[in-house]
Every structure is written in C-alpha cells, then in structure tokens.
C-alpha cells in the first residue's frame, strides 16, 4: 500500500501527516520549536533546531505508523509558513537565526519604500504588499544594519529552502513561497530586478525558482538509511501554508472565499489573475502559471481572544485556558448582537490587512454605565470578526464573493461561524478537517501522482461540514456598528502613531 | 516572641549542627545606627518577616518587605539596609551552609535527608532564582519557629527533627519560588522560561525532576503537558536542543568532537555519537566531513 507524507513547517511547530491514497489519515505527529525575541521587533528561529525537529518527528512517525504497517512512501510534500529569511554562507551554513514572518525589524525600510515612487512599480510587479515581514525588506535591513553578515551571505533562503537543502543538497523555492519574499515578478515568473535592487542583491543570491510540483532532488544516502526511505521517493517542493490551507478547504476558482482564523487570520480567494488593488493592500500568490491565491492577512484572531481570557477570564472554576475561553464564550452568547453598543478595535499587535499599520493599537469604544463584564467579552469577539469582515469587504471590491468557507480553531467555533455568516450576510460552510494545510499538501501530491487531473478536481473532493445561514436582522445591526468601527480605525491614524511611539 | 541569636562557633547550641551558621529572632523596638549594614553572606540565608515593614537592598535592588514575606539570599550575595539601620518590627532568620560540588553545583550537604536528585534540584532552583522575595509564605515562618523551639528544649530526637525541618523549609521555599516564577495557566510561557534555562546551562545533566520543578509542577503533570505542547517527552525535547547546538558546533571546525559532546550535555563522545547517528544517519565525524570545506 502506498502513502503520501506531508510536512508542514509551521510558525511554532512542524506537523507531519501520513495519508493513504484515498486521503485517509494514517497517522500524524508534531514537534514544537521555539521562537526567540531577543529584542522588541525581533522574532527568530534556529534553522538547525527546525531541521532536527522535523527529522526527529518524521523518523518517529515512520517507525511507529508507516514501516510497521508495510506502507510504501510514494511522495513527501512540503509546505511552510511564509516570509522567513535565513542568510547562509557560500557553503550553506547559517550565518544567524532565521527571521520569521513576525519579525518587524525592517519597519524603517518599509516606511522608506512605501513613501517612494518605487512602491507602485514593485507592487504592480510582485503583487505583494510592502510590509516589514517581506524578506525583500529584511535583506535590505541586513545590508544596512548588519553589513558583515550581509557580505558573507552566499544565499538568502526561506526556512523551507534550508530544510530541503539539508535533505537533498538543492537550493530551491517554489513560486508561491517566492511570492511571499516580495521579490517575484508574478507576470514573468522571474525575480524582479527593482525589488532585488532595493534589497541590494543579485538573483544568484536566491534559491532557484521552481513550480510547486517540482522534485526537490534525491534524499541524501544517510537520511535514506536513518529514515528507512527509498531513493526513488519523490520529494515535492510544495507550497506555503496559506496556499495549502486554501486548497485544503476546497476553495479553487470559484466565487467562494475562505476565512482562516487561528491565532492570526487571513481571508483568501483563488482566481486566474492578479487582483490589482490600488491601495496595495491585497497579496497575490502564484500557485501555478495561471492560478493565484489572493487575499489579506490579519494579526487579529484567536490570539487576541486568548489575551482577553488570560487577563479577564475567571480561573477559579476553569481548569486551563481552553476551559476558561469556553466559559467566556458561554457568557458572550447571553449578550445581544452588537454588544449593546461596545465596539472593540482588535489591534493589540498592530495590523496588516486592510490598514497595513504596525502602529495601530486596540481600544474599547462606546462604554456606558450599564455595560457589564459580559458585554466586553462579546465585544472582543465581535471586534476580532469585524476586522475579518473588513478584509472580506476589501476583497469584495475585486471579486464578487457569494459564499464563505471557514477553518481554523477560532473561526470554526459555532458562535463565531454564525457571527461571520451574519456580518457577511452570506452562507458559511465550516470545514470538517482541522488540518487544512496538510490536506492541501496531500491534494497537491495526489495531483502530481495523477490521482486527480488538476488542482480544481482535487479541491472539489473536499466535503464541507455544517452550513450556517445569515440572519438578516443581525446583519443590519452589525452593519450599523461596522460603519463606526471602520471610521474609528480610519480616524485614529495620528493617535495610533503617537501612542505607539510612547510605548 | 523570644529574642535570641546563635552563631556557629560562638553558641554551643549549634555544635551538633555544623551546617547552621546562624539562627536568630529579633523584635526591634528602636532604630539604631549600624545595626543592619549591607553585608555579603556565606551561606543560604532565609529571613521571615513576622511584623513591621522593612526596606532592604538585596543584590543592589531595593525591596520593601511586609509580614509573611520570606527573603532568600544566596551565598556571595550582598544585602542589608542602605543606611545601615534595621526598621522597627520582628524578624526570624536562619543561615545554612551549603556544600559546593566539584561540578560547581550547590547542594544542602550530608546532614540532609534529601535524595541526591532532590538535593541537586533544590540547589539548582535556588541558584536560578532571580527574585529574592517570596510573599505570603507563613509556612516558612512556622517552620523557623518550630526549629527555634526544638533548639531551646532539646527533647528526644531534636537533632533529627531539626534537620528534617530544615529540609522541609528548603522544599517549601523551592516549591513556592517555582510557583511564584511561573504564571499560572500559561503553559507556553512556563515552557519558554524552562527552555531558556536549559539553553543557558546545556552541559548540565538535567533530570526530569529538575525541569518539572522549574516549571512548578509535579513530574507526572509536567510530562503530560510537555508532551502535549511539544510532541516530545521532556528528555527527547532536550536531546533536540542538544543535537541542534551540536550541529552548529560541528559546522565550525575549531571545536573537538569530545568537547562538543560535553558542552552540549552528552555523557561522553560515545553517547553523543550513538544518539547523533540514530537521528541523522551520520556519525558526528562523518557529518563534519560532509559539511566542511577546504578553502
């Protein structure tokens, strides 16, 4: 019996799944790796620990779930979080830790380019918003602030490229992850010279561009032996976690949008051309030559609610943070739609789409003497979801979204799924599987093996779960509040900047 | 409260307890100059505040102390009042001499009934502690008073009982400081604190007991939580860090493989080699050869 293995190099952990060819999960394991914050704005991970953790988890999964049952591994497909940047010397040895997507040290470089004429040209060409998360700006930062490392660097890689290099000795990056570097010309599918010039590098400093279906090369002998894998196994370069979560949710070339809310969130649509946003707010990631995943990411999500629970939750009866959050959700359901007039702006972590302002900060607005604790609970949840709605509204300017699919631990909470449906005034399907990224990677590998004719056909295999329908009345209430939410966010630009400077 | 001061060498009361450097209780009713100057201590000092409000400087940091507080001062640390005066109030204290092992670790010593593992863990946790004040620890005050009672009355079995009570005092304090240093219900934060401690001292032979104690948990709950959060048992997670650090050192040519093994906490280069090969398929030597370059 053959099986497919997917490896997701996520933000905090590697998650490895094994599927049989029908898409049934045979086994899965995860391995945590830490993120270091040595200074404000710094967010780093150790590439060696990520590699070793991946190897360790893969070995355990193979030895416990695959080899004993005589499964034959047909292919291994990678996916990873976006925007990581790792400088290695000319022998491939890391010169420092990898900068993660959450690393904001390049904020001055972002400000600089956003104010310049170059910004429009680069967005037209790369389809990616200019934000400190972008490896283009991280490299520019390094050139300016860590010239010694910059000079020594032989290549600037993503974490996935580094892991693949360890396994096969090839420097590769797929189109979709290359988009997330902010340096890929998505029309020509080649590195964009203006972006590289801004970063201060030439194309030879970047890994080779390959399609998501490309083979990553042959597994090194030592790893064949230690893992018990055959030389002929195909290792697929694969894609990014965001693109795979979209494929795994069954969203492909339709008028459906997918909303993912874990700690942070994103709203995405798939289409055959770039969504050209005049305000440069929308990302466009190229999956294959004529297929784009477009959308907006948000820092707001379950992480914000968890913060609320830690500060204001009742732990006298709750066993842990999960049960505390459940109790809070229970209390929130008792409050009327709209929280009787409290609005919450969820910008605890600054914000990406749609306002792209790292200085944005959170607030509660509209509090009066009658408001009680439970109003704040519901307002917090509603605030997080208004923000998601505002991203959907932005995408709706480009694409007529007719229905939604939600996944991720926060979005799939029934209470939240219903609010999303009410806010958007559209039906919402809750994705059955919690592991959309892995399923997406499985579908990619299965398509590569010829099990599906195309990614469209693969995506259509995904069964949807429960469907939530909008309540017209609630929608009207939410829209009245959203108007205030939106204008507050727009009005507070100067104040955000001033308060952030004091912090 | 009875006031007294016994000091090793000066008081016959302590001749059966060579590890107790000092035991005292003081009810201070008047402010006197130079009664409480800053000084460097030799042993582990445990002060309990019974009454009053005290302003002390401990390792250059000012602290205000209230009844119920326990102050923990480690060998070589400086503490006292900046102006040299003792504020009004009532305190009880004890100074215990710890033994320094060849490896540099502090342990209570032979008199203690703690097992070797427990002694190491207690020593480790006391030295790792960065906050010298433990609040609302009335249990510590109760134990100190019982020790004073036993030393005054000399009833049958008092030597054994006093040593047991010092052990109990150390356990009480160690447990409290791990609880105090760990935010409740925020396991990710607790784990990252532990992670940082492991990295700071990777050559140390960490036991699960020590790691669990840093996290402020029993070993059963700790194992379960770590497994849930990281996907690994605590020891395997540690091996992960060790191998990752070893790989970085192997890629630099100037460190010998034996040194790498010991620096990253393996028992021996043999142990390092077997563990490394099992995971990566390479021996450390082969790995280095495959990742070194002739310039």
pLDDT for B107-152, tens place per residue?
Answer: 999 999 999 889 999 998 898 888 899 988 999 999 999 999 999 9
Residues B141 and B280 in one domain: no
Residue A58 has pLDDT above 60, yes or no: yes
Give me the domain span that covers residue B242: 183-295
The CATH number assigned to the domain holding A20 equals: 3.30.420.40
Residue B284 host element (H or E): helix B284-290
Task: Choose the final residue of a domain: B119, B152, B181.
Answer: B181
C-alpha pair distances (Å), B70 with each of B1, B57, B132: 18, 14, 8
Mean pLDDT of A397-426: 94
| Burial annotation B35-68 (CB, 10 A radius, 16+ → b, else e) | ebeeeebebbbbbbbbebebebebeeeebebebe
pLDDT for A143-173, tens place per residue?
Answer: 999 999 999 999 999 999 999 999 999 999 9
**Start-end of H helices in A41-106:** 47-61
pLDDT value, residue A319? 67
Q: Does A312 touch chain B (CB under 8 A)?
A: no
Task: Choose the final residue of a domain: B120, B154, B181.
Answer: B181
| Residue A447, in any domain of the structure | no
Q: How confident is residue B295, by pLDDT bands cut at 50, 70 and 90?
A: very low
Q: Does A52 touch chain B (CB under 8 A)?
A: yes
Give me the domain span that covers residue A416: 250-431+471-503
Identify the residue among A222, A231, A314, A322 best suited for mutation to test binding to B, counting B beta carbons within 10 A and taking the highest. Answer: A222
Query: How many domains in chain A?
Result: 2
Query: Residue A55 is nearest to which of B245, B280, B293, comparing CB atoms?
Result: B280
Residues B131 and B246 in one domain: no
Q: Does A49 touch chain B (CB under 8 A)?
A: yes
Query: How many domains in chain B?
Result: 2
pLDDT for A342-367, tens place per residue?
Answer: 999 999 999 999 999 988 999 999 99
Put simply, the answer to whether B231 touches A29 (Cβ < 8 Å) is yes
Rg (CA), chain B: 23
The Cα–Cα gap between A139 and A349 comes to: 23
The residue among A23, A34, A75, A32 whose CA lies nearest residue A53 is A32
Residues A336 and A215 in one domain: no
Residues A235 and A305 in one domain: no
Mean pLDDT of A231-237: 96
The Cα–Cα gap between A153 and A139 comes to: 10
Residue A128's SS3 state is: coil
Q: Does A379 touch chain B (CB under 8 A)?
A: no
Residues B109 and B24 in one domain: yes
Residue A253 has pLDDT above 90, yes or no: no
pLDDT value, residue A287? 93
Size of interface A-B (CB pairs under 8 A): 72
The interface predicted TM-score (ipTM) is 0.88
Query: Residue B232 is nearest to which of A31, A224, A225, comparing CB atoms?
Result: A31
| Residue A331, in any domain of the structure | yes
Taking CA–CA distances from A167, the nearest residue in chain B reads: B280
CB atoms near residue A278 (< 10 Å): 9
Residues of chain A with Cβ-Cβ distance to B260 below 8 Å are: none
User: From the CA of A53, how many Å to the nearest CA of chain B?
Assistant: 6
Counting residues of chain B whose pLDDT is more than 70, the rounded percentage is: 98
Q: Does A362 touch chain B (CB under 8 A)?
A: no
pLDDT for B20-48, tens place per residue?
Answer: 999 999 999 998 888 899 999 999 999 99
């Amino acid at each position: 019996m053959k099986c497919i293995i997917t490896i997701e190099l996520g933000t905090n952990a590697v998650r490895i799944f094994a599927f049989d060819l029908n898409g049934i999960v045979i086994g899965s394991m995860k391995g945590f790796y830490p993120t270091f914050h040595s200074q404000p704005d710094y967010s780093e991970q150790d590439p060696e620990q990520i590699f070793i953790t991946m190897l360790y988890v893969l070995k355990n999964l193979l030895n416990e779930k695959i080899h004993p049952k005589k499964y034959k591994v047909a292919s291994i497909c990678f996916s990873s979080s976006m925007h990581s940047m790792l400088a290695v010397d000319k022998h491939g040895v890391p010169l420092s830790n990898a900068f993660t997507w959450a690393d904001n040290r390049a904020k001055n470089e972002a400000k600089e380019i956003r104010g310049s004429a170059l910004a429009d040209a680069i967005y037209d060409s790369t389809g990616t918003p200019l934000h400190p998360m972008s490896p283009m700006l991280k490299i520019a930062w390094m050139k300016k602030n860590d010239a010694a490392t910059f000079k020594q660097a032989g290549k600037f890689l993503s974490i996935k490229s580094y892991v693949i290099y360890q396994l096969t000795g090839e420097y590769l990056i797929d189109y979709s992850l290359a988009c997330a570097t902010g340096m890929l010309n998505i029309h020509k599918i080649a590195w964009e010279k203006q972006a590289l010039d801004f970063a201060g590098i030439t194309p030879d400093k970047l890994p080779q561009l390959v399609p998501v279906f490309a083979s990553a090369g042959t597994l090194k002998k030592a790893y064949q032996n230690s893992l018990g894998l055959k030389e002929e196994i195909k290792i697929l370069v694969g894609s990014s976690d965001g693109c795979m979560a979209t494929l795994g949710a069954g969203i492909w070339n339709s008028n459906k949008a997918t909303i993912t809310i874990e700690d942070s969130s994103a709203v995405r649509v798939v289409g055959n051309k770039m969504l050209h946003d005049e305000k440069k707010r929308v990302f466009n990631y190229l999956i294959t030559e004529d297929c784009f995943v477009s959308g907006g990411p948000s820092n707001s999500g379950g992480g914000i609610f968890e913060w609320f629970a830690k500060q204001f939750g009742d732990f006298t009866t709750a066993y842990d943070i999960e049960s505390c959050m459940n109790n809070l959700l229970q209390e929130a359901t008792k409050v009327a739609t709209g929280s009787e007039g409290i609005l919450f702006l969820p910008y605890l972590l600054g914000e990406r789409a749609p306002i792209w302002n790292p200085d944005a900060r959170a607030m509660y607005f509209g509090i009066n003497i009658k408001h009680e604790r439970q109003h704040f609970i519901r307002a917090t949840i509603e605030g997080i979801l208004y923000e998601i709605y505002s991203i959907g509204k932005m995408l709706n300017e480009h694409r007529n979204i007719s229905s939604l699919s939600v996944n991720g631990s926060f979005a799939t909470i029934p209470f939240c799924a219903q609010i999303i449906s009410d806010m958007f005034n559209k039906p919402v399907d809750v994705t059955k599987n919690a592991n959309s990224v892995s399923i997406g990677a499985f579908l990619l590998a299965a398509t590569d093996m010829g099990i599906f004719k195309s990614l469209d056909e693969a995506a259509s295999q995904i069964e949807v779960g429960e469907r939530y329908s909008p309540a017209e009345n609630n929608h009207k209430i939410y829209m009245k509040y959203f108007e205030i939410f939106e204008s507050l966010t727009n009005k507070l630009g100067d104040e955000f900047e001033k308060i952030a400077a004091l912090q | 409260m009875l006031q007294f001061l016994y000091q090793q060498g000066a008081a016959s009361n302590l001749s059966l307890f060579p590890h107790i450097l000092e035991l005292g209780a003081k009810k201070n009713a008047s402010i006197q100059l130079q009664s409480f100057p800053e000084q460097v201590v030799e042993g582990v000092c445990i002060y309990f505040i019974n009454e009053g409000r005290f302003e002390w400087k401990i390792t250059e940091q000012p602290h205000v102390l209230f009844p119920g507080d326990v102050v923990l001062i480690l060998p070589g640390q400086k503490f006292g009042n900046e102006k040299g005066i003792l504020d009004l109030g009532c305190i009880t204290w004890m100074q215990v001499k710890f033994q320094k092992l060849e490896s540099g670790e502090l342990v209570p010593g032979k008199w203690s009934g703690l097992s070797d593992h427990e002694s190491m863990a207690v020593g480790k946790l006391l030295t790792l502690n960065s906050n010298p004040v433990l609040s609302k620890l009335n249990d510590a005050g109760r134990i100190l008073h019982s020790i004073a009672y036993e030393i005054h009355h000399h009833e049958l079995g008092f030597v054994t009982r006093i040593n047991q009570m010092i052990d109990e005092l150390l356990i009480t304090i160690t447990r409290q400081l791990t609880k105090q240093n760990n935010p409740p219900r925020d396991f990710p934060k607790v784990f990252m604190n532990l992670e940082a401690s492991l990295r700071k001292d990777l050559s140390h032979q960490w036991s699960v007991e020590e790691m669990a104690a840093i996290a402020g948990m029993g070993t059963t709950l700790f194992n379960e939580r770590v497994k849930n959060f990281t996907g690994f048992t605590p020891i395997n997670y540690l091996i992960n860090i060790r191998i990752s650090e070893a790989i970085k050192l192997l890629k630099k040519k100037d460190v010998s493989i034996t040194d790498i093994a010991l620096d990253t906490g393996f028992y021996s280069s043999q142990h390092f080699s077997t563990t490394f090969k099992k995971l990566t398929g390479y021996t450390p030597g082969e790995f280095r050869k495959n990742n070194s370059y002739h310039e």
